Chain A
Amino acid sequence: MKEKRIPQPLVFEDYFQLNKADLQKILSISLSKGGDFSELFLEYKIYNFINMEEDIIKETAESINLGLGIRVLSGEKTGYGYTNDLSFSKIKKAALTAAAIAVSPSRKIASDLASPPLRHNFYPVLDPPHRESLEEKISLVKRAYLAAQKADSRIEKVKVSLQDQIQYLTAVNSEGLMISDTRPMYKLICFAIAKKKDRRDSGFSGGGGRVGTEYFAQELTPEEIGAKAAEEALNLLEAVEAPAGEVPVILAPGYSGVLIHEAVGHLLEADFIRKKTSIFWDKMGKKLGNSQLNIYDDPTIPHFRGSYNIDDEGTIPQKTLLIEKGVIKGFLQDRLSAKLLKMPLTGHGRRQDYTHIPIPRMSNTYIDQGEYDPAEIIKSVKKGFYAEKYQGGQVEDSGKFTFSVSSGYLVEEGRLTAPVKQATLIGSNIDILEKIEMVGSDLKFGLQTGTCGKEGQEAPVTDGCPTIKIAKMTVGGRK
């Protein structure tokens, strides 16, 4: 496959009309009250949206986000200012706002800026979304729409939307780092409603990632996305009520990665560790789960939605081992947490945009595959619940988590039987890690459409896992 790199534009010069000397000056203003460290985050983002419903392209939208965030660290304290008015006086005001967090007689001097070359690109694309014509994008939307609509006469309603984005960013800091990234993103999603007599149910599917338009020809076609959404809605028409109570639970490969995102990933984010609010804060090196359990967070998987060439603090990201053979081995770090915990950076400092302070976040989180044949896992359960697709999940620091299953199956005598609708799984994370009994050999990732929210900030993520058996878990159905 021929691969073209997206040119790396110098955003601060192209869009901000600021040169290196200007940036150096802003850094020194932000350190003028005695801060230990300062950082500029320059962002230019173009987002496009197409929406189709009721058989017509109903609307399109474009949004431009241009702005500059300035952060100053002083010990454990963070000062932050931002502006989207790029006049020097407004930038100076934001720098002084951030600077005010420090009250120290000592004056740090910002190092001279140097730009280390990036030797990797995790998202080389042929046809980046922002260069694609609107006509071509509309045709992707229509293809998915028609595929869902034509799937069955019981499909009553279809909705398809395509979102794409190109984000140019530059992180500059007082340690002399100046580094840029250009991040493409596509997301095509389809929502379908099926109706049978008085009953209606909905299905959802989608795809994308840090990819070019070629993805929809080579990896996942719009037709497949539309057909899957319709199939899910149709399946649910036949679904029965979920069981209620404690039963053995099998997690389907792929989508079930949300379990590991909620139950494990969040509580290994280093801000919760240093604040000791996470139940894991004192558990480094401790064995909490089955020896089959290996968990990673990897921002370097090519073309994945959660991947990045540099994190939003300019750090080169690393595939990070979180749990090895059931033992806690690592945390997800941003600069502040790594410094306070005296641990190495992992490249997980992320932010929604220039108006937000970076915090430790997951990227692509997964349970690595084990040895069990998935068929053998299903066979081992006499009566239980097979969780297949999810609406999402939530966790709190104490380790209590839930996830909402949108579709699944009953397991009876080692076989998947009736499809089951809406149910919630609930548990506490240490308990669940202990109860993971079998890890399958079929690692898969969920849809490339997921977004994680933390402290009011959204970040694109993916997660994955093989087929997994949990000895017992509370399923909140109605039967």
Chain B
Amino acid sequence: MSHEYVPEIATDREGNEYEVQGWQDDFYGGKLGFWLFMFTEVMMFGAMFLTLAYYNTLHPQDFIEASASLNRLLGGTNTVILLISALTMGLGLLKMRAGDIKGAKLMIWATIILALLFLGIKAVEWTAEYNHGVFLGLDAMQPGNEHSMPFGKILFFGMYFTMTGLHGFHIIIGIGLMLWLMKRINSEKVTPDHHILYWNIALYWDIVHLIWVFVFPYYYMIGGGDIVGGIAHGH
């Protein structure tokens, strides 16, 4: 399906016609617009990180102990998975720009599979935490009862579930965007010459990865300790 540009014509009072400047192929504009959207993401997650940092200063010991109880092996595996998915997404874009559409599509599928793997591991982790009574709304996470965790840990896990949940939601949105991108490529609306959509979805995936780059050390690593750790291992 071709996209022939039909210019808009403006007419002045004397009846002279002028072609209106079209911005349909404004690659930089499209990219800049998407960066503006990504700044809202930075501000949203940035505010959460700063809140987390503030809570941390109020309850440093609780934060270290809570961090030590998270499963670093699963968190680390997810870190590597996201890292490789950022590569597949980037290589896919590169292939598209170089004219290798089939290769680009393969790379998108690889990214989708890695994203699903990430979600699967996250689900295993959350389930283990739920089974050990650590989850939003459970007694341990509510102050003022016999099962309550120390208050700093309640704040830590509250932020942990909120932020990893929101991050997971971004992963799901990313999968949806990649499926949509596949549809657009199949219908030839995204081509090697017209790939701004691919570029921006790759940028989105990078910011999802970028957020995890800070989520992982803040939640999983500040507690140090043994290599595995983790509620899932009964600690």
Question: Do the two chains belong together in a single complex?
Answer: no
